[in-house]
């Protein structure tokens, strides 16, 4: 029978003897693994107890920096030499051969990044090659529609903001809603959509510039001399004929009121910003280039932006000051009378004969699009109930499009 297990007593002597046995065993192992010293191994001497520990690995010197540099230089020279030999029989152009050589001497990690980038570009190019919209260009019909609607937006009596982003969102909303001859899915293809956005911005910029020049000439202002000659001014009705010539817009009293505000804002802007104009003088080359009627060929873009920003501020001030429909009608009626008294030029027609009939369909589309966004929609004349209280037709609270007009289909006004 095996001997009974040894029972440890409560005095702890057996435990002490066990610790002593372990210590003696560790000392024997360290003596067998290392050279004996005069004092003998100590339990705290880790280097002697564990000669193959990590401390020895960390302390061991690695390859020198000079050696690594020579190795990298040798690899670069070897790969450059191989690349030159490799491209000789491939009939590559000089630029292509240089590109291959430059790629060969890159570190491996950089080569992987460059190669993956080229693969991504190749994938996208292959996908676009099979897409019929990859080479799409804006048609002449779309260009005509963009030009006409850009002018209608700028002349709309419902427009509240003349900022570039506001007008851009409105015109893009019109294009998204009616499509015209735009191919299906154009707004889902980034490259095709970008082409359309570029033309939208172009036509808005052109129409703003043309409209400002017509307003400038209509009050007899000459940019070269920075003077006004009211004898050269024209009647506001004739100005309305000029600005609506390619839009088929109805010449209404609301349109005349908006033009009167534009003319008054232009005169006050030029009179009030005389000091600012002196600080920002145009270049001599720009000032020397003039049209036959005297205004500058290349007006300062900052000046144009300041004018349209002032128009936006004025519309907001009118909205804040005049709360009722009667007050707004009274204000613009007085402004129109003041304009006709200031520029007492013969009119092509009697204003009494102008009746505010039904607007053209395109004007209705623009008005609906403006009213569909809560950021726009200051109606010059609003219907009343006979007691001077405004009657809401399409209020901003009820309108869709509280977000960007081109953000989603839900922001478009249904026909």
d(Cα 262, Cα 266) in Å, to the nearest integer?
Answer: 6
62 vs 16, 56, 59, 67, CA distance in Å? 45, 12, 9, 10
Contact 153, 162 (CB under 8 A): no
Contact 346, 365 (CB under 8 A): no
Q: Which residue has the tokens 């200031």?
A: 342
Token pair, residue 170, equals: 């409105």
Residue-level pLDDT at 343: 87
d(Cα 56, Cα 72) in Å, to the nearest integer?
Answer: 28
Question: 329, 304, 310, 315: which is closest to 384 by C-alpha?
Answer: 329
Residue-level pLDDT at 199: 94
Contact 105, 77 (CB under 8 A): no
Q: Provide the whole-model pTM.
A: 0.55
Residue-level pLDDT at 385: 38
Contact 376, 173 (CB under 8 A): no
For 359-396, the DSSP string reads PPHHHHHHHHHHHTSTT----SS--B-SSS-B--SS-T
- pLDDT tens, 298-357? 445 666 788 998 899 999 999 899 988 889 889 998 998 899 888 876 666 566 556 566
Non-local CB neighbours of 78 within 8 Å, separated by 6+ positions: none
d(Cα 111, Cα 293) in Å, to the nearest integer?
Answer: 63
Give me the average pLDDT of each 10-residue run along the chain (415 residues). 55 50 54 49 47 46 60 81 84 87 88 88 70 79 92 91 90 90 85 91 94 92 81 89 86 91 90 48 36 40 80 90 88 90 71 64 81 49 37 34 35 31
- pLDDT tens, 121-143? 887 776 666 667 767 888 999 99
Helices (H), 89-189: 94-104, 108-129, 140-155, 164-178
Residue-level pLDDT at 87: 83
Residue-level pLDDT at 75: 82
């Amino acid at each position: 029978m095996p001997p009974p297990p040894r029972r440890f007593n409560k005095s702890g002597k057996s435990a002490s003897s066990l610790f002593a046995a372990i210590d003696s065993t560790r000392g024997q192992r360290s003596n067998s693994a290392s050279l004996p010293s005069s004092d003998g191994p100590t339990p705290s001497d880790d280097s002697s107890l564990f000669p193959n520990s990590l401390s020895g690995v960390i302390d061991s010197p690695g390859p020198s920096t000079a050696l690594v540099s020579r190795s990298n230089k040798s690899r670069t020279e070897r790969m450059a030499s191989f690349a030159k030999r490799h491209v000789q029989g491939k009939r590559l152009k000089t630029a292509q051969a240089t590109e291959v050589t430059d790629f060969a001497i890159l570190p491996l990690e950089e080569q992987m990044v460059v190669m993956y980038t080229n693969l991504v570009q190749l994938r996208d190019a292959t996908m676009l090659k099979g897409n019929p919209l990859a080479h799409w260009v804006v048609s002449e019909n779309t260009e005509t529609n963009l030009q006409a609607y850009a002018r209608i937006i700028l002349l709309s009596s419902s427009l509240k903001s003349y900022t570039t982003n506001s007008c851009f969102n409105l015109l893009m909303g019109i294009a998204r809603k009616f499509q015209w001859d735009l191919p299906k899915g154009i707004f889902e293809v980034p490259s095709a959509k970008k082409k359309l956005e570029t033309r939208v911005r172009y036509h808005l910029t052109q129409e703003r510039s043309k409209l400002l020049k017509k307003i400038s000439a209509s009050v007899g202002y000459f940019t070269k001399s920075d003077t006004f000659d009211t004898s050269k001014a024209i009647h506001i009705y004739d100005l309305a004929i000029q600005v609506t010539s390619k839009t088929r817009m109805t010449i209404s009293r609301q349109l005349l009121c908006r033009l009167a505000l534009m003319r008054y804002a232009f005169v006050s802007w030029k009179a009030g910003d005389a000091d600012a104009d002196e600080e920002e003088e145009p270049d001599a080359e720009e000032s020397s280039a003039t049209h036959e009627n005297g205004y500058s060929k290349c007006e300062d873009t900052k000046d144009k932006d300041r004018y349209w920003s002032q128009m936006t501020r004025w519309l907001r001030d009118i909205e804040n000051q005049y709360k009722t429909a009667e007050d707004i009608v009274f204000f613009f009626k007085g402004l129109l009378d003041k304009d006709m008294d200031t520029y007492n030029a013969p009119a092509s027609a009697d204003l009494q004969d102008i009746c505010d009939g039904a607007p053209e369909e395109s004007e209705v589309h623009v008005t609906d699009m403006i009213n569909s966004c809560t950021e726009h929609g200051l109606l010059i004349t609003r219907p009343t109930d006979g007691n001077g209280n405004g009657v809401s037709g399409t209020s901003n609270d009820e309108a869709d499009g509280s977000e960007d007009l081109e953000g989603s289909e839900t922001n478009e006004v249904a026909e």
